[in-house]
Amino acid sequence: MPDNGLIQLEDIHFGYPQRRHLFAGINFHVSGGDLLGVVGANGSGKTTLFRILVGLLRPHRGMFNAFGRAIQSPPDYDELRRRIGFLFQDSEDQLFCPTVKEDVAFGPLNLGKSKTETLRIVEETLASLGMSGFADRISYELSGGEKRLVALATALAMQPDVLLLDEPASGLDPRSKRDLVEQLARIGGTQVIASHDMEFVRATCRRVIVMDAGKIVADGPTDAVLGDESLMLHHGLEVPHSLAAEGRIATDHHHGSGPSHGHGHGTSHERQEHT
């Protein structure tokens, strides 16, 4: 476990009534400054992992540490949500106020900031995303890309230590996607991004984990993980076209400095099986 670990999940168990053992002892960590991509096929547990990280779901068992303390009681979860900004898959869920300004102000006001301070935060946050002129725009009349950026602004206005972004690129046109990549690069800090869009993950993350059926099956530098063709194909994913174009696809399975496989259970076996 790294010393500067911001978030650590150890031996986490979680399930739904219809899928009782989705996570059966998952381990996960995020370090300060990580730009971490979480990839996996549908139903692999990415969103559930995020919902646990932000305290919307409580693990049935296991240890959850964040920001140097164990997360157990409701006040711990409140503090957790204050320090982790979460961008939802559907921006429409996140924008419920009449105007952009009020949507962005919602979080700071709930944190007890004064009106003046909140307005300053709103202005600064919107300006940092290049959306200064959007303050009085009506949230539901924005385009998909604009909505996504405003939703991001609502999370950033909480001044979080970690940003969780669940499918931030879904439904965006190429230009909006490029804008988002630029903004995320500029924001920096610690970001965890779940996405099916491998190009987006490659453009935004330095480290990637692959999830499959509630397990973390690979963890390593972005290009090493995403460029492992057999790993990607075996877990229902595909190698980004840009990596293929650069000829940086690894087809053998014995990487010296490549991704570490088998965080979890029986993954080595799985890997042998598919090789």
**Of positions 10, 76, 102, 182, contacts another protein by CB under 8 A:** 102
| Pair 161, 6: CB distance under 8 Å | yes
**Of positions 106, 195, 200, 231, contacts another protein by CB under 8 A:** 106
Using alpha carbons, list the distances in angstroms from residue 20 to 15, 94, 125, 213: 4, 29, 41, 12
**Of positions 60, 61, 69, 115, contacts another protein by CB under 8 A:** 115
| One character per residue 46-65, x = contact with another protein (rule: CB under 8 A) | -----x--x-x---------
Supply 46's token pair: 């990415």
The residue range among 7-15, 39-47, 97-105, 205-213 that interacts with another protein, by the rule CB under 8 A, is 97-105
Rounded Cα distance, 60 and 171, in Å: 33
Please report whether residue 92 would count as binding another protein according to CB under 8 A. yes
**Of positions 158, 180, 193, 218, contacts another protein by CB under 8 A:** 158
CB of residue 106 to another protein, shortest distance in Å: 6
Q: Alpha helix locations (H) across the chain?
A: 46-53, 74-83, 91-94, 100-110, 115-128, 144-156, 174-187, 198-204, 222-226, 229-234, 241-245, 267-274
Rounded Cα distance, 188 and 183, in Å: 9
Q: Which is nearer to another protein, 43 or 221 (CB)?
A: 43
Q: Is 193 helix (H, G, I), strand (E, B) or coil?
A: strand
DSSP-derived secondary structure letter, 45: S
**Of positions 3, 18, 74, 93, contacts another protein by CB under 8 A:** 93
Query: Where on the chain is the footprint of another protein (CB under 8 A)?
Result: 51, 54, 56, 78, 81-82, 85-86, 88, 90, 92-94, 96-98, 101-102, 105-107, 109-111, 115, 118-119, 138, 140-141, 154-155, 158
